[in-house]
Every structure is written in C-alpha cells, then in structure tokens.
Amino acid sequence: MTDTAELDLLRDSVRGALSGFPEALGLGRGDDLAPGAAAAAMGIATAQGWTAMLLPEALGGLGLGFRHAVVVAEEVGRTLTPGPLLANAVLLPALAVAAQADWLNDLASSVGAGEETAAICFSGDPNGAAGRRFVEHGAEATVIVSLTRVGEGESPSSLVRRLDSPRLTPRRCLDPTCSLAELEGPESVRDGEGCRLSPGATADVLGAAQLWIAAELLGVAERAGAMSIAHATTRRQFGAPIGANQAVKHRIADDYVLRRNAAVVLADAAAAWDSLDDDRLLLAHAARASATAAAYSATAHCIQVHGALGFSAESGIHLAYKRARRLGCAFGDDAASRAFVAARLVAKTAA
C-alpha cells in the first residue's frame, strides 16, 4: 500500500470515529460543554489506539510517527473534538522517550492503555512566580504532570514532575470546547517522580507539541474555511450570493492559500520529524507558525462572512475562532515559533 493511501485510510477511520462531533459537545445553543463529552472523546481515542500511537512498542505502544499523528490531530481540530489528547497522545510519549525514567515510562504505558488520563501544566516557573499556571482538562485528569521551563533564551532545559495533590481551581476557558483549571500554590512532587530534561530533550518534547498543535489548527482552519465557502455561496444580499463580491471572495481565496501552505509545510515537517531530519525542529516550528496564520485568518473571516450570525453564540461559528485562539497560545505561539525559525536560519548562515 502506498504511503498516501495508508494515510487516507487512517483519515477515513478517524472521521468515522469522530462523526459524533461537534454535535456531541452539546454547545449547539450556546450552552456549556456537555458533561462527559471530553471523557467520551478520550474513550474513543483509547479504543482507536490514538493514545498509544506515538508510544514506542517497548512501552506497549504502536510506535507510529507524526505522519499518522497529524492526520488524527487535523480531524480532531476539524470536528472540535474535546479532551486532553495533546497531553496524553503526544506529550507523555515524547516525555517518556526524552526522559528515559521508569516512572514516566510506567505512566505513559498506563495512559496508552487508557488506565489513566493525564493533564499537563506547562509553565515558566514551578511555583507560579512567572505567571499564572493553567491546566487544560485538569479537573477530569487522574494525573497532573508539570513541565517547567528552566532558564531563559532559545534553548531552555526543563523539569518534568508528577504532582502530589495539586490545588486546582476550575476556570472558564476562552474556548468552550475545553475545560480549564488553574494550578495554585507551590507544587509538591510525588516521591521519586520528577526529572530534569536537557535542552535538546526539552526542544524535542516542545517540537512534538508544535506538530500536533499545527495539525489541530489546520483542521480548525479547514472547518472555518468550508463554512465560509458554504455561506458565501448560499446567502444572498442585493440580489446575488455574497461570495460574488470580490471583497468576500478574495478573503476566502486568501484563506485557502494559507491552508494549502500550512498543509504542505506540515506534511513535510511530519515526514522530517519521523526520519529524524536535522531540520526537524525548524520545520515543526515552521508548521506551527504557518498553521496558526491559516487558522487565525480563516476563523476570523468565518465570523465576518457570516455577519451577525457569526457573532451569535447559538450558531456555534465562534467555536472555531475560540479554539484557534486557545491552541494559538499553547506551548508557545506563532511569534515564538518564527523566532525559533529565524534563530536557526541565522545560525545556519554562520555555519
């Protein structure tokens, strides 16, 4: 089977598995996220093997790569599927590989098998001195892991630790498809369940996050783009579909170009990641920056194209915009990714 055909099959199966979303979010009339929606999504993820996808075979995983993972992530984004997939399907396997510590291996194995659900708090300081600390899906998780940047600059090292009875306060998330908790007070670490990651290992873990986030953002952008096209084709004003106006048509065309860009840059970055290419970190950050541009633009234009309908909560059009904005500031952002890319470019000319 060719590579593309295999990925197409995977995409079809992910679409089938997630066909209940976004309706199952229960957000149709502007209400809160349906209780159990995130847990249901994680149940699907475990049953489909997505939580074990990136986990090495030695830890009971499937040992697949990012060429597969980004297909899943794109569909998760497109369908606005909730749940801590980034933490469980991507970051724990990456942390386990990076840290080579028994406690992390055990945790990643249990998560892969669906026995535990983790949430990960990423921050600049373990005790909150560097700003408030938030944990996506912290309230539903059975395990809270803290990943803390140590040192400034472009190549920080980090601490990864399993927290003991963390103090979590529920907060409303900008993105209604995500539940959020704030971590307060000093972090107490479970005995023996903490380790330090080198700058290289930290960059690898964060790089993996960039690829997943890029793919989810691309999916969100695809969703918003398709909605804009559908509305611009059917909604009539002044006797013609609004998409006949260049002011509308050209925005939609520009968004399409941004999505196509993000799609090729992401596919290339995922392949580079799996083949351990020297440029894999550069390309992962390039993918994140490209996908963020595509998602910000498509989701904002989607609201504009829909007019007042776009601004109403009932329509659900705002959900893609809010999800893009949440993903946009998770584990870095587009500006940080471009800074990373520029640093590599400048360093390369020196070499």
Partner 1 sequence: MDLHAFRAEARSWLTAEVARLRVEFRGVPFTDLVLRRTFEDRLCGAGWSGLGWPAEVGGRGLPIEFIAAFLEESARAGAPKGVNLIGHGILGPTLLLSGTEEQKQRFLPGILSNTAVWCQGYSEPDAGSDLASLRSRAERDGDDYVVDGQKIWTSFAHIADWCFLLVRTDPAAPKHKGISFLLVDMKSPGITVRPIRQMDGGQEFNEVFFDRVRVPVANRVGAENAGWGLAMAAASFERATYFIPRLVQMEEELRDLVAESREIRRNGRPACEDPLIRDGLARSFLDVQALKLHARAMLAAAARHEQPGPEGSFIKLLWSESHQRLLELALALLGPEAVLGPEEPTAQRRRHWQYDHLWSRAETILAGTSEIQRNIIGERVLGLPR
Binding interface with partner 1 (CB under 8 A)? 229, 232-233, 240-241, 243-244, 246, 249-250, 252-254, 256-257, 260-262, 264-265, 267-268, 283, 286, 289-290, 293, 335, 337-339, 341-343, 345-346, 348-350
If the CB atoms of residues 34 and 271 are measured against partner 1, the closer one turns out to be: 271
Nearest approach in angstroms of CB 333 to partner 1 is 12
Helix (H, G, I), strand (E, B) or coil at 190: strand
Closer by beta carbon to partner 1, 132 or else 348: 348
Contact 166, 150 (CB under 8 A): no
CB of 326 to partner 1, least distance (A): 22
Nearest-approach distance from CB 338 to partner 1, in angstroms: 4
CB of 5 or CB of 350, closer to partner 1: 350
Minimal distance, residue 157 CB to partner 1, in Å: 23
3-class DSSP assignment, residue 207: helix
For partner 1, the closer of residues 308 and 350 by Cβ is 350
Smallest separation, CB 270 to partner 1 (Å): 12
CA within 13 Å, CB half, 210? 33
199, 157 contact by CB (below 8 A): yes
d(Cα 265, Cα 152) in Å, to the nearest integer? Answer: 28
User: Considering beta carbons, is residue 313 or 343 the nearer one to partner 1?
Assistant: 343
In terms of CB distance, is 268 or 277 closer to partner 1? 268
Question: What gap in Å lies between CA 199 and CA 40, rounded to an integer?
Answer: 36
| Structural element, H or E, at residue 67 | helix 66-78
Residue 224 beta carbon to partner 1: minimum distance, rounded to whole angstroms: 13
**Cβ contact 73:212 at 8 Å:** yes
Q: Which is nearer to partner 1, 264 or 329 (CB)?
A: 264
Please, what is the minimum distance in Å from the beta carbon of residue 239 to partner 1? Answer: 12
**What is the smallest separation between the CB atom of 95 and partner 1, expressed in angstroms?**
27
- Spatial strand order in the sheet of 143-150: 118-123, 143-150, 157-163, 189-197
Q: Per 3-state DSSP, what percentage of the chain is helix, strand, and coil (rounded to 5)?
A: 55, 15, 30
Nearer to partner 1, 93 or 243 (CB): 243
> What values do phi and psi take at 154, rounded to 5?
-85, -15
Q: What is the dihedral of CA 56, 61, 62, 65, to 10 degrees?
A: -50
**Residue closer to partner 1, measured from CB, 169 or 233:** 233
Query: Helix axis angle, 92-99 relative to 102-112, nearest 10°?
Result: 150
Bridge partners, 288 (sequence order): none
Q: What are phi and psi of 286, to 5 degrees?
A: -60, -40
Least distance to partner 1, CB of residue 113, Å = 37
Q: State the pairing for strand pair 240-241/157-163.
A: unpaired
Judge contact between 287 and 214, C-beta under 8 A. Answer: yes
